[in-house]
Amino acid sequence: MTEPPFQLHRYPVSVALSPWLDFHWLIEWDLPGGLHHSQRVLPFPNAHLVFEAGASALHGVASGVFVRRLQGRGRVHGLRFKCGGLRAWLNGSVQTLSGRQVPLAETFAWAEPAHVLSTEQAVLGAGSQHLAVAAAEAFLLAHLPAVDPWVARLDAAVQQVMQDSSLTRVADLQALLGLDAGSERSLQRRFSDSVGVSPKWVIQRARLQDALQALAQQQAPSLAELALRLGFCDQAHFSRCFRQTTGHTPAQYRETLNRSMENGPHPNA
């Protein structure tokens, strides 16, 4: 069996940070000279705080597939915010970060460049992953904001949308949040400010995640059946949204998967 080109580890955040954050994720890689690996990910609707050598930043919700090229040896340490969890740490709307990676010193008022650099070095140079987790948390623990009960409600509702493929309308999300049907405009503003994207975008991203999983199955459904099941008005609408997000049509994506299974893993995939 081919060894994976990188190692991914997850650790829970401390109780003190749990009202705003989900978990730590750590990626480590060590590729032989000349080899590289391009990892493609369709992210969930969450912002991330990422410690990376010379590039520590807040990553807003990505609009499309995020591609990370790995080569040589390295480590990246990230913390995933709950949906809406980042808002309390900022002076402005989370929407300003959508699709962007912004240096920490430009987003946190208290994050002086020297402090960011010393924390980055402590996190990435830690002798163990547990020490790295502690160093990353220390960066935030000294500046805890007030707890907003809305974050827990919002995150729980979005998690349910991500897990239940039958939820395909904004009205479904409103119901999960206990909001009446006339509150859609208010919900739009709240999502824009605290999540960075619209409720419709969150639902569509969840259903596209479902589509990626369905297309990877050996007995994948027809595209027309899949579009109907995931709440798209027709196959053309589904294909258009899929391509806008991933850069490929569903048919192209399925063909690429079939070729990769026939040819086996490639060291530069």
Q: What is the pLDDT of residues 109-120, one digit of tens each?
A: 899 999 999 999
DSSP three-state, residue 83: coil
H or E, element range at 199: helix 199-215
Q: Is 266 left (phi over 0), alpha (psi -120 to 50) or beta?
A: beta
Q: What is the pLDDT of residues 215-230, one digit of tens each?
A: 988 888 899 999 999 9
Q: What is the pTM of this model?
A: 0.86
Determine whether 15 is exposed, middle or buried from the number of CB atoms within 10 Å of its CB (0-12, 13-18, 19+).
exposed
pLDDT band at 268 (very low <50, low <70, confident <90, very high): very low
Walk me through the domains of the chain, giving residue ranges and CATH numbers.
6-141 (no CATH), 149-261 (1.10.10.60)
